[in-house]
Structures are given as structure tokens and as C-alpha cells.
């Protein structure tokens, strides 16, 4: 079983799939579909939205009870396998995207494949999670309607911890409009957009609330067209992370309340919430049941973690669906040179996912069930 799982992970990792390359994501979807069909005995539906390829397996004709979520796109550019080749050595598996999260995709296939009755399961593997799920968000939310739980096969937190809380993500752009002038001859006739942005960056940098875990971070910055011209326009991006919807809303009001500091300058603020928070209450009952199952399976006691990064589980939690994240591979180095998976943890974590899905389907745990609809 472990040998087959490792072979499947290798097949997925060795097909590169940077989110921004639509052809690469489509080619990866072919590989994911092939591996999944081999394990599950049925081909997925291929869903292409805005050129991005997603895959969906639905089992049974009634209400969906459990949604399994994963993604096959990665942050690694084409050619990364040359510098970061797939490899297995010393009990560790390496390769671009192995931890985040192609090992989790393979684990989902193996967990579902061994269930005697799959009716009520939807398995959705998307192709744009790493860029904020712009085309798959509505698809994810539609599949989550009526489910008693969403299980996210994203990589674990440090030490194998499940992710029981994720901050919500908001993204903004602040654009300043000024007036160009010659920087040497008559700078006083211009309205310097770069200076306006400098004022705004200082204001935005103070909107966060460290005590509540809210971070508001100015990031990418640009202004002007040449070194001898007063910049007529410029902009900076803002990354916001917040634990609660109330904090997201507070920050949104503050961002849209920004006012120009230079006479004659004009501001344009765009953007807003990208992902709602996955609050701790969304995962509490699922984590408790998973902990009981881990003990029954003879696995180490589960731990939990609150993390700043978002995932597609934020969307399901935001709908009121009980959501447990970080059920995928144990390892580390996501998005980094040291990306790796600990092989000895794969079988146990896959068995945990299988047991948790089985109990949810059988009604042995029913966390925060919501009213749903039948599939069209």
C-alpha cells in the first residue's frame, strides 16, 4: 500500500503545475485524473473555468455529506524539477509541490478507495488555490452546500498539527493619482504620487491590531515613469490577515476611509475580503472526533495549530460548514527549497482520513450540520 502511495505521489509531483500556466495546470489535471481513476475506478468530471482546470468526483446520487478538498496547482515555476528533483532518501520524500499539496491529493485517493461505501462523498481537486481560487471559489461553495463536513487535505502545520484555525485574507490596492512635472525644472508644479503613497503606507501600517492577531501589511509598491519626472501615479498592495469576520470588516472600513494628504491628490482603493476566516469553532468538534480516532488507530496524539495562511477550507467554514484542515502530509518547507514529506507519517494520516470520512458518512459524528439541497 505505501509503495503504491509513494508511486502515485511521484507521478503527481513529476508533472509540474504552476498556477499561472494554464497549459501546465491542464496537463497536471490529466495526470491527477489518471491517478485518481486508477485508484477510484471512475474518471472525474473535468471542469474548466476561466481556463483553469478542476476535477470533481461525486459518489452516490443523494445528498453530499462529506466534501474532500485539495488542489494540484503549485507555486513552483516550470523547470523546478531540474533544480529540485523528486527523490526519496532517509525516510524523506522531496520535490516541488510534494508537501503543498500533491501528497495530500494522493492520500485522498487512497483514503476514499478503501472505503466500502462511498455514497455521499464529493472529492474536489482544484487548479488555482495558490493564487486565491479566483475561478474555483463558487464551485467549492456550491459543492459544500448540504455537507456536514469539509475535510481539507492541505499539508499539516509544524509537527503534523491539524489546522483548526486559519486567518481570513483580504487584499487591497491603494492607487494615488497626482500630476506630472519636470523633477529638475519645476517640481513644485507637480503633485507627487510617490509622496502621497508614502503618507498612506504609514497610515495603513497602523491599521492592524497585534493583540487580536490582525496584520495589515503594505507590500508591492510602484510609482512614476522616469527618474526626472514627478510621479503622476503609483500604487501599493496590502495584505490583510484577520481571525474574525468583525476584524475583516473593521479593516475594510478603515481602508476605504483613507483620504489624500497632498493638496490635489486623489486616492483609489480597490479590493476586499478574499477568504473569510476559518474560526476555531468551525473545527472544534471535528478535531475532537479525529483525536478519538487517532487514539483508536494507535497514532500519536493529535495537536492543533492556528495559522496565518488561507486555504479553500476558509470558504467552507465561512458558509457554516464544519471544516478541518491540515489533514494531508506531515513534513515542512512549503514553497521553499526544503519542501519535504515524512514518509513514515503517510500511512497513519491516510488511515485517519479514511476513518473520519467513514464515521461522517455513517452518522457516527455529525458536527454542526446545516440544511442543504440535493445535487442538480
SS (H, E, C) 127-189: CCHHHCCCCCHHHHHHHHCCCCEEEECCCCCHHHCEEEEECEEEEEEEEEECECCECCCCHHH
- What is residue 368's predicted lDDT score, i.e. its pLDDT? 61
Is the overall model pTM greater than 0.85, yes or no? yes
Separation of alpha carbons 341 and 334, rounded Å: 10
The pLDDT tens digits for 322-369 are: 999 999 999 999 999 999 999 999 999 999 999 999 999 998 887 864
Exposure of 313 in the CB half-sphere (CA atoms within 13 A): 34
Q: What is the mean pLDDT of residues 302-330?
A: 96
Q: Does residue 163 surpass a pLDDT of 60? A: yes
Q: Does residue 108 surpass a pLDDT of 80? A: yes
Q: Does residue 307 surpass a pLDDT of 90? A: yes
CATH pick for 2-166+277-362 out of 3.20.20.70, 3.30.110.70, 3.40.630.10, 3.90.320.10: 3.40.630.10
Please give the grid coordinates belonging to residue 295: 487514539
Residue 113: exposed, middle, or buried by beta-carbon count in 10 A (0-12, 13-18, 19+)? middle
- What is residue 373's predicted lDDT score, i.e. its pLDDT? 32
Residue intervals in the chain for CATH 3.40.630.10? 2-166+277-362
| CA angle 67–365–2, rounded 5-degree value | 60
Classify domain 168-275 by CATH number.
Answer: 3.30.70.360
Q: What is the mean pLDDT of residues 218-225?
A: 98
Q: What is the mean pLDDT of residues 108-132?
A: 96
Q: What is the mean pLDDT of residues 301-312?
A: 94
Residue intervals in the chain for CATH 3.30.70.360? 168-275
The pLDDT tens digits for 24-65 are: 999 999 999 999 999 999 999 999 999 999 999 999 987 779
Amino acid at each position: 500500500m505505501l509503495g503504491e502511495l509513494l508511486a502515485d505521489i511521484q507521478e503527481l509531483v513529476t508533472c509540474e503545475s504552476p498556477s499561472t500556466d494554464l497549459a501546465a495546470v491542464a496537463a497536471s489535471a490529466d495526470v491527477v485524473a489518471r491517478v485518481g481513476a486508477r485508484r477510484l475506478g471512475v474518471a472525474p468530471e473535468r471542469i474548466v473555468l476561466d481556463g483553469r482546470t478542476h476535477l470533481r468526483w461525486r459518489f452516490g446520487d443523494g445528498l453530499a455529506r462529506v466534501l474532500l478538498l485539495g488542489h494540484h496547482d503549485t507555486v513552483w515555476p516550470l523547470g523546478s524539477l531540474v533544480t529540485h528533483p523528486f527523490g526519496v532518501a532517509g525516510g524523506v520524500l522531496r520535490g516541488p509541490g510534494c508537501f503543498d499539496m500533491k501528497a495530500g491529493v494522493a492520500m485522498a485517493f487512497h483514503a476514499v478507495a478503501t472505503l466500502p461505501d462511498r455514497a455521499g462523498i464529493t472529492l474536489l481537486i482544484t487548479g488555482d488555490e495558490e493564487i486565491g481560487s479566483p475561478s474555483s471559489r463558487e464551485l467549492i461553495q456550491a459543492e459544500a452546500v448540504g455537507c456536514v463536513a469539509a475535510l481539507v487535505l492541505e499539508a499539516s502545520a509544524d509537527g503534523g498539527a491539524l489546522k483548526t484555525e486559519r486567518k481570513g485574507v483580504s487584499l487591497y490596492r491603494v492607487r494615488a493619482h497626482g500630476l506630472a512635472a519636470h523633477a529638475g525644472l519645476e517640481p513644485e508644479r507637480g503633485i507627487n504620487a510617490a509622496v502621497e503613497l508614502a503618507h498612506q503606507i504609514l497610515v495603513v501600517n497602523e491599521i492592524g491590531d497585534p493583540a487580536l492577531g490582525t496584520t495589515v501589511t503594505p507590500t508591492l509598491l510602484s510609482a512614476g515613469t522616469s527618474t526626472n519626472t514627478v510621479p503622476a501615479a503609483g500604487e501599493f498592495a496590502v495584505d490583510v490577515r484577520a481571525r474574525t469576520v468583525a476584524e475583516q470588516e473593521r479593516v475594510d472600513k478603515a481602508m476605504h476611509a483613507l483620504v489624500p494628504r497632498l493638496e490635489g491628490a486623489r486616492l483609489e482603493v480597490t479590493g476586499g475580503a478574499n477568504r473569510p476566516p476559518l474560526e476555531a469553532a468551525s473545527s472544534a468538534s471535528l478535531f475532537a472526533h479525529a483525536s478519538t480516532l487517532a487514539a483508536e488507530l494507535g497514532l500519536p496524539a493529535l495537536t492543533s495549530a492556528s495559522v496565518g495562511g488561507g486555504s479553500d477550507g476558509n470558504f467552507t467554514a465561512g458558509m457554516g460548514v464544519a471544516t478541518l484542515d491540515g489533514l494531508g502530509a506531515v513534513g515542512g518547507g512549503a514553497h521553499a527549497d526544503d519542501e519535504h514529506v515524512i514518509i513514515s507519517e503517510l500511512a497513519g494520516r491516510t488511515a485517519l482520513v479514511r476513518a473520519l470520512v467513514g464515521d461522517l458518512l455513517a452518522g457516527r459524528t455529525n458536527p454542526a450540520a446545516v440544511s442543504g439541497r440535493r445535487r442538480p
